[in-house]
Amino acid sequence: MDVKAILAHKRALVEEALTSYMLKAEGPLTDHITAMHYSLFAGGKRVRPILCLATAEALGANPKSLLPLACALECIHTYSLIHDDLPAMDNDDLRRGMPTSHKKFGEAAAILAGDGLLSYAFELLTLPELNAALSPAAQVRIVHLVAKAIGPLGMVGGQALDLAAEGQTIPFEALQRIHRCKTGALITASVQTGAIGGQADTQQFASLTSFGEHLGLAFQIVDDLLNVEGTTEQLGKAAGSDAARNKATYPAFFGVGETRAMAITAVDAAIASLTAFDQRADFLRELARYIYTRTA
Amino acid sequence: MDVKAILAHKRALVEEALTSYMLKAEGPLTDHITAMHYSLFAGGKRVRPILCLATAEALGANPKSLLPLACALECIHTYSLIHDDLPAMDNDDLRRGMPTSHKKFGEAAAILAGDGLLSYAFELLTLPELNAALSPAAQVRIVHLVAKAIGPLGMVGGQALDLAAEGQTIPFEALQRIHRCKTGALITASVQTGAIGGQADTQQFASLTSFGEHLGLAFQIVDDLLNVEGTTEQLGKAAGSDAARNKATYPAFFGVGETRAMAITAVDAAIASLTAFDQRADFLRELARYIYTRTA
């Protein structure tokens, strides 16, 4: 299986959908919508929408009918990056090799671009055209689980914990909680959204949730490794910034070698969650392996 | 009809529901949840939840079953106040006579408290217990209209336009657009949420939407008047701040006398939208009149 080629194909599908579903930046309401576009089309890997679509495919569903859901997940991810980069938060100047939203448009526009993307995501999650593929009950379930995943006990909570931990010595359990909330929750929710979109039964939903949780963990461990080992050019942001900030990371706790082993364990656990699925889940399996190879 | 007494009773109902539905500020995820509570329980008038509940009542529904929806609307309103007050936005130090969120908790916590309230609102709009009163299709419709009302072409757009207009001379049409987006959209959505909660038919939904639109306009005109005529003590924020900022307002365009007349016209139009409703809509009618008397 040529994972890279399939990824490129799926990414193109998501890009096209994002372009078609996003509001145009025209008329009097222009500036904050321009800022929304800027960050949304800044070269993201589209991991969350691709996970959502691939999960639905693993269950035999046609992913095209679920594209509004996939786009909503990317809007949410983008909002979180814009707000996390703000001066009052992580105060980052670069994101994916480009000036961050507040550097480009000013703080007010960046805050509003984030707020706009977050609100718009829920418009997309309930777009009338989804009725062809999803029952209203399934849509309600998706809205609820996504809202919970990104809320005060999920992604927002993770960012709050992360800020509180900066410059502090925290135990490993606290680092795990930060990762689970800040990155893991939306990745798991993306898989779950695809699972509901693909009409998973209770057993399948539980297995896919487990897949999402292990994958989210693998993803975060690899991110920590890349921050240590990558170059600024590869990352599109300052390499070694975690260490410079004295941030708790997997490599800081366990060293690079053991961290690599932990990433492999997480990937294996993700793949093991898919035992009951047939070859239609092969792309999910390959995707999990591919995440690890990003460090190699 | 003793509007004040009914308002106080409904407000108490909303307060109690907000207390029961809000997350507790305990465990490791405490600080941003404390900030959410601080602004949510800072003495708001609960106009939007009350409008939602009263609209459902006007259609014969039991408002208690819709309390999660009412609480969600208040969470959204509170998030918008927290973000609007931020230094990069309106830079306000006082809100309802108390330090604003960022003054009390710092900017990062204030941004996250707003993000948390916005996300949590969508959790509340899809709370499983709503299934007893609302079909999944009705819930999806509510999520969609609320998201649209507060999104890039709604409330977020209104704030963007408002910021862009500061210090500028804008035509009256631009002021109307700002009001319609920034304040009107969520007030109308609150009425519409109650209308769907009360199972309004197409005709009733259209009439109630018209009621909400006129009421939202009346509300904003009165707000402008209060900013001119109220004292800092009455307002809980700096009186005359609009004029000091050279902000476009109804009194700045038309003078106080004509602005009062326009408020009465808007209230009358709101009430006229309810012609087809019986005496169960009397509280909505009185509420519209009451909004005007706030200036008298």
Give the best residue of B73, B117, B123, B163 to mutate against chain A (max A CB count within 10 A).
B123
> Closest approach of chain A CAs to the CA of B31, in angstroms?
8
Strand partners, B98: B95
- Residue A95 belongs to what H/E stretch? strand A94-95
For residue A175, the Cα-to-chain-centroid distance in whole angstroms is 18
The pLDDT, as a whole number, for residue A239 is 61
- Residue A94 belongs to what H/E stretch? strand A94-95
Q: How far apart are CA A55 and CA A90, in angstroms?
A: 32
Tokens of A34: 């321009």
Q: Tell whether B33 lies on the interface with A, counting CB pairs under 8 A.
A: yes
Q: Tell whether A111 lies on the interface with B, counting CB pairs under 8 A.
A: yes
With 80 as the cut, is the pLDDT of residue A132 above it? yes
8 Å CB contact between A4 and A22: no
Cβ-count burial of A203 within 10 angstroms (0-12 exposed, 13-18 middle, 19+ buried)? exposed
Going along chain B from its start, the domains and CATH numbers come out as: 3-293 (1.10.600.10)
Residue B36 with chain A: CB contacts under 8 Å:
152
* ipTM tops 0.85: yes
- Residue B94 belongs to what H/E stretch? strand B94-95
Between A106-115, A142-151, A243-252, B111-120, the lowest mean confidence (pLDDT) is in A243-252
Residue A103 with chain B: CB contacts under 8 Å:
none
> What are the tens digits of pLDDT across the range B245-289?
677 889 999 999 999 999 999 999 999 999 999 999 999 999 999
Q: How far apart are CA B133 and CA B193, in angstroms?
A: 13
Scanning B161-180 for CB atoms below 8 A from A yields: 161, 163-164, 174, 177
* CB atoms A143 and B143 under 8 Å: yes
8 Å CB contact between B73 and B204: no
For residue B205, the Cα-to-chain-centroid distance in whole angstroms is 19
CB contact set of A144 (below 8 Å; sequence gap of 6+): B122, B123, B126, B127, B128
Q: Tell me the pLDDT band of A296, cut-offs 50, 70 and 90.
A: low
Tokens of B49: 């939840």
The pLDDT, as a whole number, for residue A101 is 97
* CB atoms B83 and A111 under 8 Å: yes
CB contact set of A181 (below 8 Å; sequence gap of 6+): A153, A154, A155, A157, A158, A161, B29
The pLDDT, as a whole number, for residue A240 is 65
The pLDDT, as a whole number, for residue B210 is 98
Residue count (chain A): 296
8 Å CB contact between B120 and B23: yes
8 Å CB contact between A227 and A202: no
pLDDT tens, residue order, chain B (296 aa):
899 999 999 999 999 999 999 988 777 767 889 999 999 999 899 999 999 999 999 999 999 999 999 999 999 999 999 999 999 999 999 988 899 999 999 999 999 999 999 999 999 999 999 999 999 999 999 999 999 999 999 999 999 999 999 888 999 999 999 999 999 999 999 999 999 999 999 999 999 999 999 999 999 999 999 888 765 555 555 666 676 667 788 999 999 999 999 999 999 999 999 999 999 999 999 999 998 887 65
pTM given for the model: 0.95
| Nearest residue in chain B measured CA to CA from A27 | B153
Phi and psi at residue A99, to the nearest 5°: -55, 140
8 Å CB contact between B280 and B225: no
Q: How far apart are CA B74 and CA B273, in angstroms?
A: 25
* CB atoms A152 and B118 under 8 Å: no
Q: What's chain B's Rg over C-alpha atoms?
A: 18
Q: Tell me the pLDDT band of A175, cut-offs 50, 70 and 90.
A: very high
Q: Tell whether B151 lies on the interface with A, counting CB pairs under 8 A.
A: yes
Reduced to 3 states, what is the DSSP secondary structure of residue B3?
helix
Q: How far apart are CA A128 and CA A122, in angstroms?
A: 12
Q: Tell whether B89 lies on the interface with A, counting CB pairs under 8 A.
A: yes
* CB atoms B160 and A107 under 8 Å: no
> What are the tens digits of pLDDT across the range A205-256?
999 999 999 999 999 999 999 888 765 555 555 566 676 667 788 999 999 9
* CB atoms B111 and A86 under 8 Å: yes
* CA distance readout (Å), A248 to A81, A177, A222, A242: 19, 12, 14, 8
Phi and psi at residue A95, to the nearest 5°: -145, 120
* CB atoms B115 and A154 under 8 Å: no
Strand partners, A95: A98
Q: What's chain A's Rg over C-alpha atoms?
A: 18
CB contact set of A72 (below 8 Å; sequence gap of 6+): A120, A121, A122, A124, A125, A146
